[in-house]
Structure 1
Amino acid sequence: MLPTLDTLRLRLRPPRFDDWPDYARLMSSDRAVHMGGPFAVREAWGMFCNDVAQWELMGHGALMIDARDTGQCLGQVAINHGPLFPEHELGWMLYATAEGRGIAFEAAHAMRDWAFAALGLATLVSYIDADNARSRALAERLGARRDDSAARPDPGDLVYRHPRPAT
């Protein structure tokens, strides 16, 4: 069963097909440049399906970020792994309307803590495009530190290693 995680302002919930149009718009826009995009619809659809399929195949994947007060979908947070990722990765992306309000921090913090607790991970990283200053700052705000010796899926990515939360 896929988790639903609640924070003060957010509900992180399993993806639904009606999330696809906003996801596709983001992935085909210039906002996807730090993820290797913009992407054609076919590529974006494969990525969306991968985010969902990881739950069945690996016991983790993507959750959509909803505002608890309005139900508006604000973006996505995920634990990624498999043949495309050398280590378990905490990733995030927000729709433009959600930026600048601490949404990504709140969602990533909740997903990170869930991953360590539910999956029993020893370590967790974020792969971040070197030019993505906002995501680098968010990783550091979450307590992650650069690990220049870590393997990465793209040679241009920086790797930020997240500490296990104190118990």
Structure 2
Amino acid sequence: MAEFSTAPTLETERLILRPMTMADWPEYAALMRSDRARFMGGPHSGDAAWGMFCHDAAQWPLMGHGALMIEDKVSGACLGQVGVNHGPLFPEHELGWFLYEGAEGKGCAFEAARAFRDWARSVRRLPALVSYMDPGNRRSARLAERLGGRLDPDAPRTDPRSLVYRHFGG
């Protein structure tokens, strides 16, 4: 069993990063089945989306990290997800994120990703983080750069087309 078998709850100025619940499934599934998932290998079937949802939660007891949902402190609305992925699908620990429609452009992904990156480094003590992304996903690339990530053309990747941003100090 992993050292960190349960997902933490983290707070930022505006956000709560919390463990996933079944109440998160409908909106998650809708995103993964939509064209908005095109930068994440989608759109995905309902079965594939369910597998991804379970993967995000199962990493906590198996790997000591996984995904957290991004919740607005004031409204309680779920805005998206941030996570650290690894295992057979990711050659290195990946810092990833997505936001639901209407949540973009407000700095929430940056705030959530920075907080989870800092947790992964200070609490989980992960030596390195990367972000894999589709070359057409300029918004995520800008966010990776804002987080201090730099393109690493020599980084291992499962999809040779993916860009890999390596995250250095905070």
**TM-score under structure 1 normalisation?**
0.97
**Mapped pair 1:24 → 2:32:** no
Aligned with 1:53 (options 50, 58, 68): 58
What count of residue pairs does the alignment treat as equivalent?
Answer: 165
Structure 1 position 6, deviation (Å): 0.2
Partner of 2:81: 76
Aligned with 2:111 (options 101, 106, 113): 106
Contiguous gaps of at least 5 residues in structure 2: 1-5
Which whole-Å CA distance do the structure 2 matches of 1:123 and 1:59 have between them?
A: 15
Partner of 1:33: 38
Which whole-Å CA distance do the structure 2 matches of 1:122 and 1:57 have between them?
A: 18
Structure 1 position 26, deviation (Å): 0.3
Which whole-Å CA distance do the structure 2 matches of 1:8 and 1:121 have between them?
A: 24
Which whole-Å CA distance do the structure 2 matches of 1:153 and 1:32 have between them?
A: 18
Contact 1:146 1:160 in 2 (8 A): yes
Partner of 1:156: 161
Moved over 3 A (4+): none
Which whole-Å CA distance do the structure 2 matches of 1:98 and 1:117 have between them?
A: 28
Name the SS of the counterpart of 2:28 in structure 1.
Answer: helix
Contiguous gaps of at least 5 residues in structure 1: none
Partner of 2:3: none
Aligned with 1:137 (options 134, 139, 142): 142
Q: Read off the aligned partner of 1:8 and give its amino acid letter.
A: E
Q: Indicate the RMSD between aligned Cα atoms, in angstroms.
A: 0.6
Contact 2:71 2:77 in 1 (8 A): yes
**TM-score under structure 2 normalisation?**
0.96
Aligned with 2:133 (options 114, 120, 128): 128
Contact 1:116 1:164 in 2 (8 A): no
Name the SS of the counterpart of 1:96 in structure 2.
Answer: coil
Contact 1:54 1:61 in 2 (8 A): yes
Structure 1 position 164, deviation (Å): 3.0
Q: Read off the aligned partner of 1:28 and give its amino acid letter.
A: R
